[in-house]
Amino acid sequence: MAITVLIPTPLRSLTSEQDSVEATGATIGEIFEDLENKHPGIGERLCDESGEIRRFVNVYLNQEDIRFIDGKNTAVADGDEVSIVPAIAGG
């Protein structure tokens, strides 16, 4: 399944400066594993030593925060868009 993943500026050094990449997998966790295989080093940026998504990393599936869905177990389907966004100040 091909999923589009939007890559924020701080991670583009790992994706040859591409702002979006394709990945495959049935869940967000599998997508992250595939990203790590294709772009070594990106995995530790997204998840801490225990495998949890880092405190300041927000992940959205089709604009919905995956914290409100099923976290790393959130299911993804062909054509979905995943966006990785750093936390942002208030306003």
Interface residues toward other proteins, by CB under 8 A: 6, 8-11, 13, 19, 45, 54-58, 60, 63, 65, 67-68, 83, 85-91
Q: Which is nearer to other proteins, 16 or 90 (CB)?
A: 90
- Closest approach of Cβ 78 to other proteins, in Å? 22
15-19 long-range Cβ contacts below 8 angstroms, 24+ apart: 15/39, 15/42
Q: Which is nearer to other proteins, 19 or 22 (CB)?
A: 19
CA distance linking residue 72 with residue 83, whole number of Å: 13
- Closest approach of Cβ 9 to other proteins, in Å? 5
Q: What are the residue ranges of helices labelled H in the chain?
A: 28-38, 42-46
The phi and psi torsions of 41 (rounded to 5 degrees) equal 105, -20
- Closest approach of Cβ 51 to other proteins, in Å? 15
